[in-house]
Amino acid sequence: MFALIWNRKPERPQLVSSMSFKKDHSDDLALELTCPICLLLFNEPVSLPCGHIYCLTCLQAMGEGIDQHRCPECQVEYQETENFVRNFKICSIVERYKASVEKPVQPPDTADLQKPGQSQEENETVGGLKVESDLRLGENEANNEMKEPKFKLASQVTELHLKLEMADSVLMKEKELELEVTTANSDLRETTAKLLGQIKDLAQRYGDQVTQMVEEELSPGEAAAHRRVSQATEVTKDLRQTVLRAESLLTEEDQTAFTEDLRSLRPDIMELLAKPEQENEDRSESSINPGRACSKLEKLNDELRKSLAEVQRSLRNSLNPSEVTFDPDTAHPNLLLSEDLKTATFSPIKQPYPSCPQRFTSFFQVSECAAVKSWRAVVYHLPWRAAAAPGV
């Protein structure tokens, strides 16, 4: 039927096209005047810095509990909703559109369209316009059924974009934190390995020093014993030779030869007989001197303790860098502070600290440089746990 109309009356399709264009234009205008968030016509429309327009109430509801505000469509950041300026132009267009839509337009029936004096072809054309209008109305109803889920999906996509941005921000922060933790742990492992290596070196040096000290104490005794063995060997050799000569001389029958040999042998015999017995000598030098050895060992032990204590303090500080730091101007003269000012040790000898009004003199105390914390103090080789606040 439409083909006949178009072929017979070419001017009529122009009328249909014009009406269709007006309908499409109205739908497009409604779409342009619809808020992408609430899917309704704009109510108190406001413009974002990026140019997109939304309802003021929609932006306020969407921005609750969010520190950073971004456009739902282009993700451009904007400030608080209090700074928005109402878009009066869009508001006026919406009002005019509402006024035009509220006027009901009843489509005429086919019988009403057929007027007296019109030909059958003109009446058919008018009927074709009604059918075309009904088809367009059905298409618009189908499009309207898709608008709501599409707008809802668009709103959900906007929320997903916001969540994705927040997730990316959290991921970036977690990666930065992971890098900080990995770097700090790597430095701590390196520091710990270095300090443990120092402890191993101290133990090795202590062992070498003790071994050297023992050797120094034992070597004189060994040398004396070796010397006495050499002397005894020499005496035994001389005695054996003299005995053999004397026994040989006893068998001599010639008076002259006997007298001459005896004259040369007698000095050797007298010398050997005059030598004292070795077993009567003092052999105390061949054994270790306990007093001297223990004194040297105690000195080495003190050096080892001091060196180990310093390394152990460094190891503890690396594991707990937030430990207290003492104020040297408040330390009691009988408290010896470490170089890092983190350990206080009792000393029976008063330290030559400078005179300060805040220095403790009545009790073994020392103040911390910051807030109230606890620390370890060593008194007579026993660990004590103490606490103090500045000025206390």
Domain residue limits, the chain: 2-181, 322-392
* pLDDT band at residue 148 using 50, 70 and 90 as cut-offs: confident
3-state helix, strand, coil in the chain (%, to 5): 60, 10, 30
Max alpha carbon distance in the chain (Å)? 200
**Per-residue confidence (pLDDT) for residue 54, from 0 to 100:** 86
**Separation of alpha carbons 333 and 314, rounded Å:** 24
**Separation of alpha carbons 368 and 389, rounded Å:** 6
- Ranked by mean pLDDT, the top range of 36-40, 117-121, 139-143, 347-351 is 347-351
Inform me whether the pLDDT recorded for 376 exceeds 80: no
Beta bridge partners of 271: none
For 112, the token pair is: 């009403």
Task: Report the sign of the C-alpha dihedral through residues 45, 47, 52, 56, in that order.
Answer: negative
Inform me whether the pLDDT recorded for 260 exceeds 80: yes
Instruction: State the burial class of residue 58 (Cβ atoms within 10 Å of its Cβ: 0-12, 13-18, 19+).
Output: buried
Inform me whether the pLDDT recorded for 319 exceeds 90: no
Inform me whether the pLDDT recorded for 278 exceeds 70: no
The percentage of the chain sitting over the pLDDT mark of 70, rounded to a whole number, equals 70
**Per-residue confidence (pLDDT) for residue 206, from 0 to 100:** 94
Q: How many CB atoms within 10 Å of residue 297?
A: 15
More confident residue, 341 or 374: 341
pTM, 2 dp? 0.43
54-65 average pLDDT score = 79
- Ranked by mean pLDDT, the top range of 161-175, 220-234, 281-295 is 161-175
Where in 232-381 does DSSP place strands (E)? 335-337, 344-346, 373-379
Q: What is the 3-state secondary structure (H, E, C) of 178-217?
A: HHHHHHHHHHHHHHHHHHHHHHHHHHHHHHHHHHHHHHHH
Give the tens place of pLDDT for each residue, 201-224: 999 999 999 999 998 888 888 888
Instruction: Read off φ and ψ for residue 338, nearest 5 degrees.
Output: -75, 170
**Separation of alpha carbons 197 and 48, rounded Å:** 64
CATH number 3.90.600.10 given to 2-181: no
For 187, the token pair is: 């430095």
**Per-residue confidence (pLDDT) for residue 120, from 0 to 100:** 53
Instruction: Read off φ and ψ for residue 254, nearest 5 degrees.
Output: -80, 130
**Per-residue confidence (pLDDT) for residue 183, from 0 to 100:** 93
**Separation of alpha carbons 369 and 389, rounded Å:** 9
Specify whether the CB–CB gap between 370 and 330 falls below 8 A: no
**Per-residue confidence (pLDDT) for residue 24, from 0 to 100:** 56
Q: How many CB atoms within 10 Å of residue 326?
A: 22
Residue 49 CA to its chain's centroid (Å): 40
Of 52-66, 197-211, 307-321, which gets the smallest average pLDDT? 52-66
More confident residue, 127 or 190: 190
**Per-residue confidence (pLDDT) for residue 279, from 0 to 100:** 61
Instruction: Read off φ and ψ for residue 350, nearest 5 degrees.
Output: -70, 135
* pLDDT band at residue 323 using 50, 70 and 90 as cut-offs: low
Beta bridge partners of 335: 346
The three-point CA angle 253-259-262 to 5° equals 105
Inform me whether the pLDDT recorded for 387 exceeds 70: no
Q: What is the residue type of 362?
A: S
More confident residue, 304 or 339: 304
Q: How many CB atoms within 10 Å of residue 124?
A: 21
**Per-residue confidence (pLDDT) for residue 9, from 0 to 100:** 39
For 105, the token pair is: 């337009």
Give the tens place of pLDDT for each residue, 81-133: 666 778 888 888 888 888 877 655 455 444 444 555 555 554 555 445 554 55
* Fold topology of 322-392: Jelly Rolls (2.60.120)
* pLDDT band at residue 139 using 50, 70 and 90 as cut-offs: low
Q: What is the residue type of 40?
A: L
360 Cβ contact list (under 8 Å, min separation 6): 330, 331, 332, 366, 367
More confident residue, 249 or 18: 249
373-380 average pLDDT score = 47
Name the average pLDDT for the chain: 76
Of 32-41, 52-61, 62-71, which gets the smallest average pLDDT? 62-71
